[in-house]
Amino acid sequence: MLEPKVWQLTAGAAAVGLALAAGAVALAGPWDSGQRAAEREWAAARGRTAPDTGEAGPPRAPAPAPSAPGVLDAVGAPDAAAADLAAVDFAGALGPLLADPALGSARTAAVVDVATGKRLYGKDASRPMTPASTVKLATMTAALAALGPGHRVPTTVVATPDARTLTLVGGGDATLDKKRLGALADSTARALRGRHVTDVRVGYDTSLYRGPGRHPIGPNDNIAPVSALMVDEGRLDGSRRGPAPRSDDPARDAAEEFVRLLHDRGVGTKGAPGRQKPAKDAAVLCRTYSAPLSDLVERALTESDNDIAESLARQTALAKDRPASFTGAGQAVQGVLKKLGLPLGGARFADGSGLDRHDKVSASLLTGLLARAADPGHPELRPVLTGLPVAGFSGTLESRYANAAPAAGLVRAKTGTLTGVNTLAGTVVDARGRLLAFAFMAGSTPEPDAAQKALDRLSAALVPPA
């Protein structure tokens, strides 16, 4: 059983308007990621300031996560005044903010005490709405539940018995990059030299995935054609995140890059690589694996990576014996979440990334996903929490919350943005040391920047005063 660790960040930076306080929680596990290491280093650096700046001191030692009643008292150690607080008027605090015209004509909300499951605030919380990228919370939860946090996605080279015909077989690893493809070419060249083979034919196989590869939104800089084989997410500009020009055929490009890498290693090839199924008598020559699923989930959530999200939706479909297609993935995600006992009334998963406007989830489902990820009975789901962007610091929240003090550094949340759709779902620790899960969803929003600021203010209202 994987044992979660927790780090509380307690540092501040008045010069840039940020404040990290006790209770800004980053749950971690044995797969400790670079993101969490960076957060701890950043917090420590911000804490080493002169005493007259008014900033907080260095971060406290690691403390347990506020994810269950048994550990709540150990987190944040609320003082007597906080413990004696009267019942919080969530309706009074959130109602006027939710009425902001910037949130359009349709808005829903839910706030839940994660430890008890008690709903502290709700506004049409069961109403299904278009979630945009907050649907990734459902995709990632289902993938972790179906496959486990240690699952790795392979890319394989198979060879005929004479090793003169190779097939590059895509396993659905959207994070395969040129460096790892180069390592795969190294291993392939060594294996061929060992068999005294210097010239080969190369093909590639993407048959693991079914159905259309092009997302229903059509060609778009936010996602490549969904393929079981791709390198650098089909990006054509060398970028690593965010929108970018994409290849029309990422599988073919990956195979051509593999051929070029083989040439660099002294292996000749005959003709251009084409699509082919491996021969029946073909055997594995070498293989490379993705990072553990826990890392992929964190990256997908922090950066709102659509290519990884679609890949993991299909990995879930394969694990549940469904076709690895948009339809099969949606069915698999729904089935896994049903087994987890989550509220699925009106839910629809048309894709894994949230780019499809036919996706529908409720605020109750989003908070339920977050609460289940914090459940001590489901440690395999913890990366759903650790991958959430940190307000004013990381991922899609890096540039937000400048005018929503003191939330920067304390709110962790997944964003969702489409034209006319703005959503936010995440966690915060309140003045009593309770871990709260929240979800705010808005539709028909007139302007994205104003809507995002309104959502930031809503989540900031849950943060204890500085």
Catalytic positions, written as ranges: 133, 136, 304
Helix or strand or coil: residue 256? Answer: helix
CA-nearest of 108, 24, 62 to 401 is: 24
Q: Determine the residue type at 96.
A: P
Taking alpha carbons only, the member of 374, 387, 339 closest to residue 136 is 387
Is the distance from CB of 13 to CB of 410 less than 8 angstroms?
no
Q: H or E element: which one contains 452?
A: helix 448-460
Residue 264 CB coordination number (10 Å): 12
Residue 140, token pair as written in the block: 């990632």
Nearest-angstrom CA–CA distance, 298 and 152: 14
DSSP letters spanning 114-182 = TTT--EEEEESTT--B--GGGGHHHHHHHHHHHH-TT---EEEEEE-TTS-EEEEEE---TT--HHHHH
User: Residues 6 or more apart from 235 whose CB is under 8 A from it?
Assistant: 224, 244, 245, 246, 247
Gap between the Cα atoms of 206 and 173, Å rounded: 11
Q: Cβ of 447: how many Cβ atoms within 10 Å?
A: 12
**Please, how many CA atoms are within 13 Å of residue 125, restricted to the half-sphere of its CB?**
19
d(CA 257, CA 131): 37
Q: How far apart are alpha carbons 308 and 79 in whole angstroms?
A: 43
3 state DSSP class of 100: coil
Q: Which helix or strand (DSSP H or E) is residue 422 part of?
A: strand 421-429
Contact call for residues 425 and 391 (beta carbons, < 8 A) = no
Phi, psi of 158 (to 5 degrees): -115, 155
Find the helix or strand (DSSP H, E) in which 89 lies: none
